[in-house]
Amino acid sequence: LTPMVDLGFLLLTFFIFSTALSKPKQMRLILPDDEPTNDPIKASEEKTISIILGRDSLYYYYGKDIANTKSVSKTNNEIRDILIKKKKEVAARFNDGHEMFVVIKPSANANYESIVNILDEMTINDITRHAIVDPEGQELLFNN
CATH number of the domain to which 113 belongs = 3.30.420
Calculated CA dihedral for residues 83, 81, 55, 28, nearest 10 degrees? -50
Q: For the chain, what is the domain count?
A: 1
139 and 66 Cβ atoms separated by less than 8 Å: yes
In a domain, 40, yes or no: no
What stretches of the chain show up as alpha helix (H) in DSSP? 2-21, 78-94, 112-124
Range(s) of the domain holding residue 92: 45-142
How confident is the model at residue 48, as a pLDDT? Answer: 86
What sign has the CA pseudo-torsion 66, 70, 73, 74? negative
> How many CA atoms does the CB half-sphere of 61 hold within 13 Å?
14
* Ranges under pLDDT 50 in the chain: none
**Distance from C-alpha of 65 to C-alpha of 4, rounded to nearest angstrom:** 73
pLDDT at 23: 67
Structural domain contains residue 92: yes
CB 61 within 8 A of CB 49: yes
**Whether the model pTM is above 0.85:** no
pLDDT attached to residue 93: 87
Position 27 in a domain: no
Instruction: Specify the pLDDT at position 27.
Output: 65
